Amino acid sequence: MEQLTPDNEVTAILSDIISRSKSYWKVLPEGGYTLEDVLSVDIPEQDREKSRNIPNRLPQGDAIEKASEILGGLANTNCIVYPPKSFMEWHTNSNREGIRTYYTFTVKAGCFIYIHPETGEMIVDEDQVGWTVRQFEIRKDKPLWHCVWANGVRFSFGFTKPSKQKDKEE
């Protein structure tokens, strides 16, 4: 897991998506989950690939493609909003291998929670208020169990590129 410095041109585009979709996300109901609730959820024993049916997708138009181009042609994997006090369950995304870059914007510090693939330690990586950028690798042979908790409204924009391991195999 690596935290990166946000690209100002990308954050301007993503901020515009957030602003233009205000009528959608302003009316989402609060989820009612605390961080303690999320941390008490058992991690599944079998791989849980991410569903293609993602709730709370933001309408983004061509803007997300422009952000993808600025980031070097990365493919967009999601563009969603989490209502306050909500979470995304534990999953691995192992059906979509690659290097993931996530731009998140929060109005209250939430968390990206993951199980370190080498140590097995649970890491609670707090979002900064404002923009946070994380990058990590998704591999089928070393699943990265992770979940998300939003304390306030949290926007998540995911981008991916083939992993270095995949490049070596080809």
Write the CATH number for 96. Answer: 2.60.120
pLDDT for 54 = 56
pLDDT for 96 = 84
Query: CA 156 → CA 43, 83, 111, 170, distances in Å?
Result: 22, 11, 12, 31
Of the CA atoms within 13 Å of residue 167, those in its CB half-sphere come to 6
Domain of 117? 2-169
pLDDT for 106 = 96
The residue-averaged pLDDT of 46-71 equals: 76
- Higher model confidence: residue 163 or residue 109? 109
Whole-number Å distance between alpha carbons of 74 and 161:
5
- Higher model confidence: residue 18 or residue 52? 18
Count how many domains the chain has: 1
Share of the chain above pLDDT 90, in %: 65
End-to-end CA distance of the chain: 25
Give every CB contact of residue 68 below 8 A, 6+ residues apart in sequence.
Answer: 74, 75, 76, 159
pLDDT for 55 = 62
Whole-number Å distance between alpha carbons of 152 and 85:
6
Tokens (6 digits) for 112:
């990206």
